[in-house]
Structure 1
């Protein structure tokens, strides 16, 4: 939740409208989850830099 809301806020601050900001935040958090380090089968931190390499 915190990472997603921060991504939406950052997109809004960069001039995106609400719909664009939510779409970009969804892409960001999806990449961050896919690139995350799993501590076990249930939890692990998101990789906030993953979007840079997920193109």
Structure 2
């Protein structure tokens, strides 16, 4: 994550992965300190229902 123009675009990719692979796998993401606090909150809100194992 944190390679697209906005956190919502990153979230769309994660949602597509979740939709494709289902909930049988764990998904973890790491923005490598690229987001501001506000961007991290935006991303978290966008993927709240996608059951990520963690966001670093």
TM-score normalised by structure 2 residue count: 0.36
TM-score of the aligned structures, taking structure 1 as reference length:
0.37
| Structure (1 or 2) with the larger CA radius of gyration | 1
The structure richer in helix per residue is 1
Which structure dedicates a bigger proportion of its chain to strand? 2
